[in-house]
Amino acid sequence: MVNRKRPPHNPFANPVKRVISGEIPVRRVRKKASLNDSGNSAGANLTEVTLKAWNNPSTEITLQVPSGSPCKEAMMVSGLMPRDGSPCHCLDKNGRIIDNRTVSRHSQFQIGVPPILESVWIEGTNKRGTIGIGHLQDGTKAFVPGVGNGEFVWVYRLNEWTTNSEARCNATRVRAGEEQIFRVGDLIYLSPRYGELTHPVYNSESGLLNRQMRVDLAPGTVRRKFERIDWIVEITSVSPLRGVLRTKEIFVPPHQLIQEKQAQKIKGNGKIKWCDWKKKFGFIKCDDGSNLFFHFSKVESEVKLGMKVEFDIVPGDKGPRAININKI
């Protein structure tokens, strides 16, 4: 009798199942995961959860894990996390981070980088060396304060404009993967709420711009000179998050003066009609029946289809667009 050794188990060796519409290969794997301290899930109430890759939803895995486990622990044993150091999280269908929510509340979720974050390689700096300059994946030139030449960083976009047919934007660096995404002394861009003391920045717990930061103005600063433009702020405290306006670093380009005038005159209301969750843009159905382009970075809350919003209308490279979007 021939003694044949059994090959080691390979969960990804299962047959590939194809979706009839489009013949897209979907890799489905079912296995039980042990997540408790003892390494034995026997006797625990198990929940079946399906995880998908955010950038490739056709890749998915189904696990059985203890019902009280947080989503991030299921993510760790899924095998779907990339190995390039990307700041991956558990995301719901709207791209909101749900790392610490239990799998019993989320039977399906995706794994990936929060949609608002983008990577950029800094290719140079301004003359003073205070603002790094690089290009995002779609070719937009990004200006990132507090970053030096040759650095690879994760950022989120703020104000966007076009100069000589080139798309440009202000962006803020996020120290993705670190316990504190901002450090004392960091320079960041933020889009201020005028007339208020606190302003929205990136929240690593939600993946949205809904963490509040207090910004102090130096004595003698005339606030109205810096309205309707992005601020450069130096962080002075991380707990609570606080900073001071760096007036000497702020440049007021002509396009922002135009946006200021437009935003003061034109405001609108409508509903979010359609979104591309991967590319982070969508369209708003205005109350007058027209459609208006917007980017996720201009929304002050979680993006949801059908959500009623109010916004400012500004000129863009391909027509009017919505900014300062708030849920009604």
Do 247 and 277 fall within a single domain?
Answer: no
Residues 33-82: pLDDT tens digits?
444 444 444 446 888 999 998 878 788 889 888 988 999 999 988 888 88
Do 67 and 139 fall within a single domain?
Answer: no
Work out whether strand 166-174 and strand 141-145 pair parallel, antiparallel, or are unpaired.
parallel
Q: Which residues of 246-282 are buried (b: 16+ CB within 10 A; e: fewer)?
A: beebbeeeebbeebbebbeeeebebebeebebeebbb
Q: Which residues of 184-196 are buried (b: 16+ CB within 10 A; e: fewer)?
A: eebbbbbbbeeee
Do 157 and 276 fall within a single domain?
Answer: no
Q: What mean pLDDT, rounded, does the chain reach?
A: 80
Residue count of the chain: 328
pTM of the predicted structure, to 2 decimals: 0.64
Do 178 and 218 fall within a single domain?
Answer: yes
In a domain, 45, yes or no: yes
Do 160 and 220 fall within a single domain?
Answer: yes
CB 49 within 8 A of CB 102: no
**Tokens of residue 45, six digits:** 């109430």
Do 124 and 108 fall within a single domain?
Answer: no
In a domain, 56, yes or no: yes
The residue out of 252, 283, 307 marking a domain boundary is 252
Domain containing 64 — which CATH number? Answer: 3.10.20.90
What is the residue range of 100's domain? 11-112
In a domain, 5, yes or no: no
**For residue 193, which amino acid is it?**
R
Residues 71-116: pLDDT tens digits?
999 998 888 888 877 899 999 988 999 999 999 899 899 999 999 9
In a domain, 6, yes or no: no
The residue out of 87, 112, 137 marking a domain boundary is 112
**Total domains present in the chain:** 3
The residue out of 112, 144, 171 marking a domain boundary is 112
In a domain, 105, yes or no: yes
Residues 248-290: pLDDT tens digits?
777 655 554 554 554 444 778 899 889 888 888 889 988 888 8
